[in-house]
């Protein structure tokens, strides 16, 4: 979708394989230094939006020195051809299995032809990146028979290829940008994936930022207005995602109580608790 939008908009130029190295703000806007295949270039512009993800160099450059903290969890992802699974595991819904120190999510993608499976485990493995090879026997061993129900193990067993990421977390930032520079998405508010909201928040950011920029020619004022509108909501979502991780992985008596609470609340009660999240509308 983004690529198509760029292709039809002559005012957008996409520079692939180009690393933003640094920026300097001055009276007439700013200059951004980039590196493309060892070749440095300078670009001039009015504003700079750092959407450079969890390990954002721009966030650091803006003076936020705190590094993301390893969350002691890893996320394992696989795509399973739907025809390998019984119909109960192919339903068009998001399914969540909870257990001690692990959980597993699955839902259909690609028109229902594939099932996306994500398993989250407590783990010490912490290499950055998002596509390291994952060993199926390792993930299967973390969902042992007897403790986990058969469909969970069937799903894991049906996947051929696993990739894994180490998960990192950051406390909410009080202030995002400065002058003609701001942050967006994971660069501004990296969050654990336990509420499935990281990309959703980045998309909301983009909608609000567009609106703020359209309302005034004062770019710095527009960026501060955008940050004001987004900071509280994204910080709340970061904290709620972190809390979900704790609840999802409870064991023993706490896990049993969680099960009873979920059964009592039912789907509608659970969803109502998230009205602040899902009922949000941009101005």
List 25, 43, 53, 84, residue binding ligand FAD (CB under 6 A): 53
| CB-CB contact of 220 with 187 (8 Å) | no
Segment interacting with ligand FAD, rule: CB under 6 A, options 95-103, 148-156, 199-207, 250-258: 199-207
Q: How far is the CB of 32 from ligand FAD (least distance, A)?
A: 9
Q: Which is nearer to ligand FAD, 73 or 83 (CB)?
A: 73
CA 14/CA 181 separation, integer angstroms = 19
The answer to whether the beta carbons of residues 155 and 117 sit under 8 Å apart is yes
Q: Can residue 100 be called a binding residue for ligand FAD (CB under 6 A)?
A: no
Q: Is residue 33 at the binding interface for ligand FAD, with CB under 6 A as the rule? A: no
CA distances to 261, 265, 274 from 269, in Å: 10, 5, 9
198 binds ligand FAD (CB under 6 A): yes
Q: How far apart are CA 208 and CA 128, in angstroms?
A: 30
Q: In a 3-state reduction of DSSP, which class is residue 266?
A: helix
- Residue 50: strand pairing partners: 183
Pairwise CA distance, residues 134 & 166, whole Å: 11
CB contact at 8 A, 268 and 228: no
Residue 204 makes contact with ligand FAD by CB under 6 A: no
Q: Does 96 bind ligand FAD (CB under 6 A)?
A: no
248: annotated active-site residue = no
Among 99, 108, 193, 245, binds ligand FAD (CB under 6 A): 193
By CB atoms closer than 10 A (0-12, 13-18, 19+), residue 191 is: buried
Interaction of residue 71 with ligand FAD, rule CB under 6 A: no
Single out the segment in contact with ligand FAD by CB under 6 A; choices: 36-44, 145-153, 191-199, 237-245: 191-199
- The stretch near ligand FAD (CB under 6 A) out of 170-178, 192-200, 243-251, 260-268 is 192-200
Rounded least distance, CB 258 to ligand FAD, Å: 21
**By CB under 6 A, is residue 19 in contact with ligand FAD?**
yes
Q: Measured between alpha carbons, how far is residue 13 from residues 8, 9, 30, 43 in Å?
A: 11, 9, 17, 12
3-state helix, strand, coil in the chain (%, to 5): 40, 30, 30
Among residues 33, 51, 213, 220, which is the contact residue for ligand FAD, using CB under 6 A? 51
Count of residues touching ligand FAD (by CB under 6 A): 20
Which residues here bind ligand FAD, judged by CB under 6 A?
19-20, 51-54, 57, 75, 118, 165, 185-187, 193, 196-200, 202
So which residues are the catalytic ones?
Answer: 107
């Amino acid at each position: 979708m983004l690529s198509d939008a760029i292709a039809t908009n002559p005012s957008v130029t996409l520079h692939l394989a180009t690393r933003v190295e640094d920026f300097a703000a001055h009276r007439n806007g700013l200059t951004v230094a980039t590196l493309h295949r060892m070749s440095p270039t300078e670009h001039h512009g009015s504003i700079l939006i750092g959407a450079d993800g969890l390990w954002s160099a721009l966030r650091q450059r803006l003076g936020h020195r705190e590094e993301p903290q390893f969350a002691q969890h890893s996320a394992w992802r696989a795509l399973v051809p739907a025809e390998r699974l019984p119909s109960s595991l192919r339903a068009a819904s998001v399914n969540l299995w909870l257990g001690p120190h692990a959980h597993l999510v699955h839902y259909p993608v690609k028109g229902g032809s594939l099932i996306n499976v994500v398993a989250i485990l407590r783990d010490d493995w912490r290499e950055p990146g998002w596509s390291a090879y994952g060993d199926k026997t390792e993930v299967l061993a973390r969902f042992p028979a007897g403790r986990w129900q058969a469909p969970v193990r069937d799903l894991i067993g049906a996947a051929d290829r696993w990739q894994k990421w180490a998960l990192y977390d950051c406390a909410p930032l009080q202030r995002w940008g400065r002058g003609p520079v701001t942050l967006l998405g994971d660069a501004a508010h990296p969050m654990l994936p336990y509420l499935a909201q990281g990309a959703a928040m980045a998309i909301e950011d983009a909608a609000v930022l567009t609106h703020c920029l359209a309302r005034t020619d004062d770019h710095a004022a527009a960026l501060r207005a955008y940050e004001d509108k987004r900071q509280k909501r994204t910080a709340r979502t970061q904290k709620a995602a972190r809390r979900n991780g704790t609840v999802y992985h409870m064991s023993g008596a706490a896990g049993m109580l969680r099960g009873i609470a979920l059964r009592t609340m039912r789907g509608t009660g659970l969803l109502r608790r998230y009205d602040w999240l899902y009922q949000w509308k941009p101005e």
